[in-house]
Amino acid sequence: MTDKEIQEYIISGFPGIGSRIAPYLLEHFNSIKNIVNASEQELREVELVGEKKAKRLKEIFERKYRE
């Protein structure tokens, strides 16, 4: 797998994302790190990512492991 394919694979595993939306997120933010650090509002700016998906992503990104 190429690095691009690995990045898409990782992002596609996030809840509600999948292989269709992952490239949009990566193109918009340029890296996995930037996606994880993005605000809910910034996530909603990406095509195919609505309020519900953005909110869920932020919940997962910020939740402590043991909760």
Residue 41 lies in a domain: yes
Pick from 3, 43, 1: nearest CA to 24: 43
Residue 14 lies in a domain: yes
The tally of CA atoms less than 13 A away on the side-chain side of residue 54 is 16
Residue 67 lies in a domain: no
Task: For residue range 17-61, list pLDDT tens digits in order.
Answer: 999 999 999 999 999 999 999 999 999 999 999 999 999 999 999
Range of the domain at 34: 3-62
Residue 29 CA to residue 17 CA, distance in Å, equals: 15
Residue 48 lies in a domain: yes
Looking up residue 18, the CATH number of its domain turns out to be: 1.10.150.20
pTM: 0.92
Q: What is the pLDDT of residue 67?
A: 67
Instruction: Give the torsion sign (CA, 26, 44, 16, 62).
Output: positive
